[in-house]
Amino acid sequence: MNYENLLIAIENKIALVTLNRPTKLNALNKDTLAELHAAFSDLEKDDTVQVIILTGSGEKAFVAGADIAEFANFSAQEGTQLAAEGHQKVFDHIENLKKPVIAAVNGFALGGGLELAMACHFRVASDNAKMGLPEVTLGLIPGYGGTQRLPQLVGKGRAMEMILTATMISAAEAKEYGLVNHVVPQSELIEFCQGLAQKICKNAPVAISEAIQAVNANFDKSKNGYETEINSFGKLFSTDDFKEGTTAFLEKRKANFIGK
């Protein structure tokens, strides 16, 4: 599929998805959200892909936010629908994807941009990154999961302060808060994320998928995370990857996982 607002490159089992609206600082509009849904759906089914890295084009911004011009005149009903569709098709979709998604946060990640990064399984930031949720300055609140995911990552107090003051934080502060795992020079950002992705690719794909689901279950009030873990753990005993992993360990060799 050809995308107008995304660039996709696949190499060594790693897909690099780049939001490509540099003149708009990669702001999220309706078309871009639709393309993200389609791209992640396709990559999840692609057997040649084990890990996905998500980043923004240019050096200024990962995603500077939502395209405000698109919804400035929305009614309450339209606003509700905007948030609901975004959750379902993009943000929750990425969070629950069966393959790991790493956010490579280069430059500004504001509003919907930070929410997009938080939907990924973990984040790496360039040293010039700035992050924040400025929605209250527009008379809104974060509508793509920001009020839920930010407290999970940084704690309630810091999340409240960031959301209510609409203050941007630096990459260093984001790492201190636990919002990002690593901070690296911008010129090394993608290479660093690829290194993490390569480490993931060495492990059993089915186990990686089950681990994502088990960790996510802890944050889903409709699920018992411990039960999810127990069931996933047991289910993995019937996989070819478990047999290969244990055999390789006993034979003192590297495992050759096939993802089944």
Alpha helices in 8-145 (DSSP H): 30-45, 68-71, 76-86, 92-95, 112-119
CA distances in angstroms from 142 to 30, 75, 232, listed in the order given:
17, 17, 33
Distance from C-alpha of 132 to C-alpha of 65, rounded to nearest angstrom: 10
How many CB atoms lie under 10 A from the CB of residue 37?
A: 17
Candidate list 115, 188, 210, 227, residue with the active-site label: 115
Distance from C-alpha of 248 to C-alpha of 81, rounded to nearest angstrom: 50
Catalytic, 115? Answer yes
Query: Regarding beta strands 51-56 and 61-63, do their DSSP bridges make them parallel or antiparallel, or are they unpaired?
Result: unpaired
Task: Say whether 56 sits in a helix, a strand or coil.
Answer: strand
CB 49 within 8 A of CB 10: yes
CA distances in angstroms from 225 to 111, 146, 179, 250, listed in the order given:
29, 22, 22, 31
Beta bridge partners of 72: none
**How many helices and strands, by DSSP H and E, does the chain display?**
12, 10
Catalytic, 161? Answer no
Candidate list 35, 44, 85, 135, residue with the active-site label: 135
CA distances in angstroms from 255 to 51, 171, 212, 226, listed in the order given:
18, 37, 21, 28
Backbone angles phi, psi at 11, to 5 degrees: -155, 135
Instruction: Tell me the catalytic residues.
Output: 115, 135
